[in-house]
A = this chain, B = another copy of it.
């Protein structure tokens, strides 16, 4: 995974509103899961996110685009609405980078340069 792409993903997480979106989507559903009904309060269409965040629809759309373009989120048109969900694998790549870096660090448990590298 090239550093440019990792940096782009980290950039998508570099805004509090987008972190809120992540949290909400992670407490939410895969597409087509049972919980996509609104009654559960778990539905993840763009408008609901905007209401939660107190942002204009256009601003939310902008944030979703950021998250989508770097692969952290995916969307699907579903009638009038656009449902969105997290791609956990993308977040996994970020964790892998961070964990990998720390494990190289001498302070890592088992600690020596490159021991248990990766």
Contacts and interface: CB of A to CB of B under 8 A. Distances in A.
Instruction: Tell me how many chains of this kind the complex includes.
Output: 2
Contacts of A8: 14
A8 B10 CA distance: 10
B29 A106 contact: yes
B27 A114 contact: yes
A53 B27 CA distance: 40
Give the interface size bracket for A toward B: 35 or more
Interface in A62-91: 86, 88, 91
A104 interface: yes
Contacts of A22: 101
Interface in A40-69: 42
A13 B10 contact: yes
Interface in A10-28: 10-11, 13-16, 18-20, 22-23, 26-27
A3 B29 contact: no
